Amino acid sequence: NGVPFDPAAAEWYKGIRNDQWQYEALSGAVSLGIDDNYAHVQPTGAYHYHGMPTALLRELSLLPARHSPLVGWAADGFPVYAKYGFVDALDENAGIRELTSSWRLRKGQRPYDKNTPGGYYDGTFTGDYVFQAGAGDLDECNGRFTVTPEFPLGTYAYFLTENWPVIPRCWKGEPSRDFDRKGLR
């Protein structure tokens, strides 16, 4: 539908731009005006998704009994799918299941000093999560090499997931410079 996936919030603890203490847009800790599609309008006027695009998935007839339809393309050219993939990434006859992220909420308390928030890891910040290889179906970029209906010989593909990060937060390939923001990637 042409609406970009842009999961990060441009909000940091005490305004200090530190990746670890960036507010998680879906946590509700910062009011971003997110709508029923987990999206909102940026100050630039651009509407974008922070989470699962519910209306788009309804329109594409996402069903748990079949592989997800293609929902978009990442900046590095790999396809993006939502939730459902083949049980065996290389066997389209192995059945379908909801794929899961390998990111998990950290246990315990965050460090505390004048520039860190302290408190328990509760999903308020992106740094509240840690990647645990093999904990789910997907890699650190919420993707895997897999066959898909569009790529029967296989491709790397990203997946939207119900649990964090929902939308992939990194690229496996080299992102196109067309996606640069002020020269940053």
Task: Return the bridge partners of 129, or none.
Answer: 105
CB contact at 8 A, 148 and 81: yes
**What is the separation of C-alpha 114 from the centre of its chain, rounded to a whole number of angstroms?**
30
CB contact at 8 A, 39 and 55: no
Q: What is the DSSP letter of 3?
A: P
Tens-level pLDDT at each residue, the chain (185 residues): 688 888 888 888 988 887 789 888 888 787 788 888 887 888 888 888 888 898 888 899 999 999 999 999 999 999 999 999 999 999 999 999 999 999 999 999 999 888 889 999 999 999 999 999 999 999 999 999 999 999 999 999 999 999 999 999 999 999 888 776 554 44
Length of the chain measured in residues: 185
Task: Return the bridge partners of 120, or none.
Answer: 109
CA angle at residue 71 from 69 to 72, to 5 degrees? Answer: 135
Cα Rg of the chain (Å, integer): 17
Cα separation, 108 vs 134, in Å, equals 22
Token look-up 């308020």 returns 124
Cα separation, 61 vs 183, in Å, equals 37
Cα separation, 122 vs 48, in Å, equals 25
Q: Identify the pLDDT of residue 145.
A: 99
CB contact at 8 A, 36 and 55: yes
Cα separation, 124 vs 126, in Å, equals 7
DSSP-derived 3-state class of residue 180: coil
